[in-house]
């Protein structure tokens, strides 16, 4: 009898606690002015899922910690946006099994998934930029960025997905998926996917931030963009475009104000794969693989550029040519294949070059779509253009095929400086023996990447709610057992009933 009474008490507790937990997600808004945790370990707002309303500013010297497996739903009605101000930090460290996901509130509210349904993420730091005065204002806000500390630390972003962002922040400002404003190389950035953003996937506004294992898919503008003197490093970078709304794989600038401004943009990039959309099923865009302009320098090695409707690489402006002729703009060990306009294009003021010293050890395929003889040096097997069929899973294989020059040709060894993986023996972003693009991204999810007008997310909403709430329900049961258990009742007893 005592066990039955105890069990009844626990069931009553469970009902009451479940009712209190049955509300919508935890809403977050306003400023984060003190160290704060979003996740089950939070003392103030414990949850696994949050609705971010309006612009949330993380203010110095606060640190925002987001725990593994947490989902942040950017509120569509208020254009939810996260801004980490200069001097503040974000600690968003997910795992392969439990990535942190920033997505749109439509996933839970219902509706068609598309670009531009919430704001995005902006992170400001104290590293050098090349704007006049060395300090600038974050687009669309009053926050500032830039300084004199190349080692500035804005926190950690690891195993993070950002989806369906890029809402108009002001009438003239569309947001990047993630924008790094003067962020320093003390910041850790790896395993990040930005998908279907309304503007660029990822952009660096100066700074020295380094990054690895980055993937941008189906963004409206450029996949990766740098300007204002970015001098960081990157390795293992993938861009995949869809031609309804896309521009360049990379758009690389030094400064539009002064092409000779210093510090000059001069990133060092190894192992990158840029995949355009060569078809017209979705549209006529996805034009150039890389556009190097406005005086940028760069050291780019082990790169694959394929599937763009125009050229693989375009060089603009005499100031950019000067960097190439001086050896500061240098591309080596590259495969440029299946781009409709051919390999390299120069605009009128980008001539003449002093020879082709800046463009060496490359494997150029025939122009046109990847077929016929061009297939012999096409580095990508399988269905890399799965996007042309919205009824299929989009499950690209970015790894080199057996016999590809990407694994049989000359490979550049990265600097042994503690950041780069120097063991690479392939060209491109993905090791044929270790595909890092799966398991934490949304690649391969049935229709999850599509975003077409015929897309229905009913099943996905149910799955998300179920996954987010099962662990909470089990925790609630355990709490009731702990509070009422004097008769040998176990969690299993309650679950069975």
- Each residue of 98-127: pLDDT tens digit? 999 999 999 999 999 999 999 999 999 999
Q: Tell me the torsion sign for CA atoms 347, 349, 350, 355.
A: positive
Cis peptide before 483 (omega within 30 of 0): no
Top-ranked range on mean pLDDT: pick from 202-216, 280-294, 334-348, 441-455: 202-216
Tens of pLDDT along 39-55? 999 999 999 999 999 99
DSSP assigned state of 28 = E
Predicted local distance difference test score (pLDDT) of residue 386: 43
Provide the 3-class DSSP secondary structure of residue 413: coil
Q: For 308-312, 408-412, 439-443, which range has the lowest pLDDT when averaged over its residues?
A: 408-412
pLDDT > 60? residue 493? no
Predicted local distance difference test score (pLDDT) of residue 280: 83
Predicted local distance difference test score (pLDDT) of residue 18: 40
Average pLDDT over residues 5-22: 44
Provide the 3-class DSSP secondary structure of residue 483: helix
**344 band by pLDDT with thresholds 50, 70 and 90:** confident
- As a whole number of angstroms, the distance between CA 393 and CA 213 comes to 22
Predicted local distance difference test score (pLDDT) of residue 357: 63
Tens of pLDDT along 233-254? 999 999 999 888 888 999 999 9
Q: How far is CA 370 from CA 169, 283, 410, in A?
A: 39, 18, 22
Count the Cβ atoms, other than its own, within 10 Å of residue 415. 13
Phi, psi at 205, each rounded to 5°:
-100, 85
Predicted local distance difference test score (pLDDT) of residue 443: 84
Cis peptide before 345 (omega within 30 of 0): no
Q: Residue 88's closest CA among 202, 181, 226?
A: 181
Predicted local distance difference test score (pLDDT) of residue 342: 72
Count the Cβ atoms, other than its own, within 10 Å of residue 392. 13
More confident residue, 457 or 60: 60
Whole-model pTM: value is 0.84
Structure tokens at 294: 């406005």
**456 band by pLDDT with thresholds 50, 70 and 90:** very low
Predicted local distance difference test score (pLDDT) of residue 364: 62
Three-state secondary structure of 282-330:
CCCCCCCCEEECCCCCEEEEEEEEECCCCEEEEECCHHHHHHHHCCCEE
Structure tokens at 50: 């949050």
């Amino acid at each position: 009898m005592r066990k039955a009474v105890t069990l009844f008490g626990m069931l009553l507790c469970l009902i009451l606690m479940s009712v209190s937990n049955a509300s919508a997600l935890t809403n977050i808004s306003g400023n984060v002015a003190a160290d704060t945790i979003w996740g089950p370990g939070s003392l103030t707002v414990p949850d696994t899922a949050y609705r971010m309303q309006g612009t949330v500013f993380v203010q110095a010297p606060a640190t925002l910690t987001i725990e593994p497996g947490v989902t942040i739903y950017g509120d569509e009605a208020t254009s939810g946006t996260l801004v980490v101000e200069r001097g503040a930090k974000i600690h968003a460290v997910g795992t392969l099994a439990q990535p942190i996901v920033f997505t749109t509130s439509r996933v839970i509210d219902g509706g068609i998934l598309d670009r531009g349904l919430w704001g995005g993420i902006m992170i400001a730091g104290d590293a050098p930029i090349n704007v006049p005065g060395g300090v600038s204002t974050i687009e669309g806000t009053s926050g500032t960025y830039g300084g004199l500390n190349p080692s500035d630390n804005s926190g950690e972003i690891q195993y993070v997905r950002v989806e369906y962002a890029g809402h108009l922040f002001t009438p003239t400002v569309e947001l990047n998926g993630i924008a790094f404003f003067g962020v320093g190389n003390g910041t850790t950035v790896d395993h990040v996917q930005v998908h279907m953003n309304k503007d660029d996937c990822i952009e660096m506004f100066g700074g020295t931030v380094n990054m690895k294992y980055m993937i941008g898919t189906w963004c409206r503008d450029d996949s990766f963009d740098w300007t204002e003197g970015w001098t960081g490093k990157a390795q293992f970078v993938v861009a995949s475009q869809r031609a309804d709304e896309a521009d360049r794989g990379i758009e690389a600038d030094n400064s539009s104000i002064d092409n000779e401004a210093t510090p000059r943009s001069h990133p060092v990039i190894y192992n990158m794969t840029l995949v355009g959309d060569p078809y017209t099923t979705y549209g006529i865009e996805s034009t150039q693989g890389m556009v190097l302009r406005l005086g940028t320098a760069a050291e780019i090695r082990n790169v694959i550029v394929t599937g763009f409707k125009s050229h693989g690489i375009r060089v603009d402006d005499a100031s950019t040519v000067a960097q190439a002729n001086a050896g500061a703009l240098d591309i080596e060990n590259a495969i440029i294949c299946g781009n409709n306009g051919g390999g390299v294009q120069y605009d009128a003021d980008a001539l003449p070059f002093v020879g082709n010293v800046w463009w060496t050890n490359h494997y150029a395929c025939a122009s046109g779509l990847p077929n016929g003889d061009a297939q012999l040096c096409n580095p990508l097997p399988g269905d890399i253009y799965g996007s042309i069929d919205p009824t299929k899973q989009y499950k690209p294989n970015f790894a080199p095929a057996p016999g590809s020059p990407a694994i049989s040709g000359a490979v550049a060894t990265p600097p042994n400086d503690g950041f780069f993986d120097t063991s690479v023996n392939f060209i491109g972003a993905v090791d044929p023996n270790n595909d890092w693009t799966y398991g934490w991204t949304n690649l391969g999810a049935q229709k999850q990447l599509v975003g077409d007008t015929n897309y229905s997310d009913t099943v996905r909403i149910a799955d998300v709610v179920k996954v987010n709430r099962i662990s909470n329900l089990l925790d609630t049961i355990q709490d009731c057992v702990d509070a009422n258990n004097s008769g040998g009742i176990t969690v299993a007893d309650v679950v069975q009933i």
